[in-house]
Amino acid sequence: MSNTPLFIESRAWQANDVLPLIANAAPLFPELEAARADLAGLRSSPQAQVILAQTEPLLTDVANIPQPKYTAYRRFIKDGDREEYEEPYFARRARLSALALRAFLGSETGLPLKALIQDYIWAICEETNWVLPAHENRPIDLFSAETAFTLAQTLALLGDQLDAEVAHRIYIETDRRVLEPYLRWHDSMWWYWGSNNWNGVCNSSVAAAFLLLERDPRRVAEALAIAFRGLQTFLATAFESDGSSTEGVAYWHYGLINLVALAEMLRARSGGALDPLASPRLRQIAAYPPAMQLSGSVFAAFSDCDETTHFNFGIIQRLAERTGVTALRNLLARPARPGLDWRIQMHLRNLLWWDGIQPDAPAITDAVLTAPGIARLTGATAAGTPFVLAIKAGHNAENHNQNDIGSFVLHITGENLLTDPGRGLYSRQYFGPQRYENIFANSYGHSVPRIGGQLQGAGRQYQGELVAVTTGPGPKSAVVEFGRAYPVEGLTRATRTVVIAEDGTVTLTDEFEFDRAPQPVEEAFVTWGDVVAHGPTASIRCGQYALHMAIEAPVGARFAVEALAEACRANQREGVLKRLTFIVPPAAQSAARVKMMVE
């Protein structure tokens, strides 16, 4: 066997290629086996204290197992609601993980841990369907695959403590619902060859469950070969040529966490012969989120992402170690905390792969991601406080797409003065034909113009281009051509230029050209902050910082403010998004110019 490690991308995998690589009996999770020798030391470690404190609230009323109801299951079809069924579904799994973690660590809880764990396992095995109502037409979905991994990891963790019939039930139900359907019908599942996070989550979770549960090595090898072929597509197509993700940082994280866990299991079982995280492609992919960071846990929230992303610290630390992308440790900087997770497999990796150390917050620098057309530029206020401007081009058929070409974020020390508002409420409508009626998905809810009353179009043909970026020394700038994002006849050019001067002044200039029937343009800026407008000037305040804006062109333009309160309530968003607008009169050539100062 060659001493050069193999990656998932190495070959067109078949079961016979995999079988010799997994033939030994080496532990799949060696850190876990080592930890069993000193549980008292692990229990007192900083990372254990963080995770135990986070999960402690899950033990309140833990004896009452949450009950998903039929009427809640059918609400998705009736009115599009997902939350009523999903809340008890995930609560069961989260409580099981919190209980299993304490049983492993030997924590004093005063609870009958074994009985509760077995009751929760039994309740999950009794569920009619592990697939969520929103995904009912799929034999395996994200969460049935992760449920298989969760139950398999629970059994591997506590197997000797569980009754034999409970352990057997885990295998029977996981095989019936996930393992056997995967072997039989993987090719018919849309996500198997998919170009988004579903591919990474489902293929990795199912493969991990096979490794943990299945005792027939040939069946394991067959499943792994299938998973590798699917994951080859994931790594090649779910990320741009430079490793960026158009789904955003949160979905980058979700698509990879199970893959990183699987990759390390493969590395351990094969004695390093299989080492997926050593791949140059994984190194590219790992470099993406540090380039999207604005400060702390706040990231440019393009696509269906929230402004704040919380990570699995163990997964991030291990990915940084294996890929050599040390900037990933910036994601763990104080005051960030590990994301609250419902998966025992992630609790364990936070516990055993994170060293409990958090670095100081990094200094954010300029960054350009060419493939998705994103630029991050930094400046400083007159008082010397750093701020960040992030702007995107891209196209309007991206994964978890929002129609947001030309959208930009202006951020200072944990606050978005001008924002990308993130995702709307996940419902049947949001993922159906009505998606772009939602202001969180269409361009009305973003800091981009309406042209002739038209919003940006949805589809691959509606696109922008990051034309130029200057990162200094001296003034910094980014130019986005976004005329092709609009279905407006006669519009021949629309160009957005943002400039950060050395004194911290930010100037936005939009230029428009029409070859016939010129149209008026409504400029728009969106914020969660408090807005006060006075004719051609306006101020936005978020926390301790304010943004002062002045219209320099066209002369005579005046700001107006619209509060999108109803849309925010309908999407269950806290706060009220405001839309600050002014009108550019129609002309064959027109321009808008706004000067902004942060203080």
Give the span between the Cα atoms of 577 and 566, in whole angstroms: 10
The first and second tokens of residue 222, run together, are 């067959």
Contact 211, 225 (CB under 8 A): no
pLDDT for position 339? 85
Q: What is the pLDDT of residue 116?
A: 98
Whole-angstrom distance, CA of residue 136 vs CA of residue 122: 22
Q: Would you place residue 305 in the very low, low, confident or very high pLDDT band (cuts 50, 70, 90)?
A: confident
CA distance 141 to 155: 21
pLDDT of residue 2: 56
3-state SS of 233-288 is HHHHHCCCCCCCCCCCHHHHHHHHHHHHHHHHHHHHHCCCCECHHHCHHHHHHHCC
Is residue 556's pLDDT more than 60? yes
Please report, as a single letter, which amino acid is at residue 401: N
Residues 6+ apart with CB under 8 A from 286: 243, 319, 320, 323, 325, 328
Q: Could you give the angle at the alpha carbon of 351 between the alpha carbons of 345 and 357, nearest 5°?
A: 140
Looking up tokens 């281009």 gives: 465
pLDDT at residue 402 greater than cutoff 90: yes
Bridge-partner residues for 514, per DSSP?
491
Tokens of 342: 């419902």
- The least confident of 1-5, 103-107, 176-180, 251-255 is 1-5
Amino acid at 181: P
Could you give the residue ranges of the DSSP H alpha helices within 39-141? 39-43, 46-55, 70-73, 75-79, 83-105, 113-126
Q: Which of 189, 185, 86 is nearest to 132 (CA)?
A: 86
Q: Degrees (nearest 5) of the Cα angle 565, 548, 380?
A: 115
Rg (CA), the chain: 25
Residue 33 has phi, psi (to 5 degrees) of -65, -40
Q: Which two tokens stand for residue 5?
A: 């490690």
Q: How far are the Cα atoms of 63, 131, 141, 238, 448 from residue 175, in angstroms, in the given order?
A: 28, 14, 15, 28, 50
Look up tokens 């969180």; give the residue.
Answer: 440
User: How confident is the model at residue 334, as a pLDDT?
Assistant: 87
Backbone dihedral angles phi then psi of residue 451, each to the nearest 5 degrees:
-120, 120
DSSP state of 138: S
Overall average pLDDT of the 140-154 stretch = 98
Residue in the structure block whose two tokens are 């309406």: 450
Count the Cβ atoms, other than its own, within 10 Å of residue 405: 30
In the chain, what is the straight-line distance between the N-terminal and C-terminal CA atoms, in Å? Answer: 62
- Separation CA 458–CA 443 (nearest Å): 10
Q: What angle do CA 547, 552, 557 make, to 5 degrees?
A: 95
Q: Look at residue 303 in the predicted model and tell me its pLDDT.
A: 87
CA distance 68 to 89: 6
Q: Three-state DSSP class for 581?
A: strand
The pLDDT score that the predictor gives to residue 561 is 98
pLDDT per position as a tens digit, 422-453: 999 999 999 999 999 999 999 999 999 999 99
Given a cut of 60, is residue 386 above it in pLDDT? yes
d(CA 528, CA 285): 31
Token code pair at residue 211: 């490794």
Give percent of the chain with pLDDT exceeding 70: 100
CA nearest neighbour of 220 among 265, 190, 165, 277: 265
DSSP for 126-176?
H-S-SS-GGGTTSSS-HHHHHHHHHHHHHHHHHGGGS-HHHHHHHHHHHII
Q: How far apart are CA 383 and CA 413, in angstroms?
A: 13
Q: Are 546 and 589 in contact (CB under 8 A)?
A: no
Which structure tokens are listed for 455? 């919003």
- pLDDT tens for each residue of 27-43: 999 999 999 999 999 99
1: pLDDT strictly greater than 70: no
CA dihedral 46, 47, 49, 51 (to 10 degrees): 170
Exposed e or buried b per residue across 330-363, where buried means at least 16 C-beta atoms within 10 angstroms of its C-beta: bbbbeebbbbebbbbbbbbbbbbbbeeebeebee
The β-bridge partners of 497 are 479, 509
- Distance between CA atoms of 11 and 275, rounded to whole angstroms? 14
Kindly state the average pLDDT of the residues 215-243.
97
Name the token pair of 549: 């804006």
| Structural domains for the chain | 8-353 (1.50.10.100), 367-598 (2.70.98.70)
Q: Is 438 exposed, middle or buried (0-12, 13-18, 19+ CB in 10 A)?
A: buried
Whole-number pLDDT of residue 307: 87
User: Exposed (0-12), middle (13-18) or buried (19+): which is 224, by Cβ within 10 Å?
Assistant: buried
Percent with pLDDT over 90 in the chain: 94
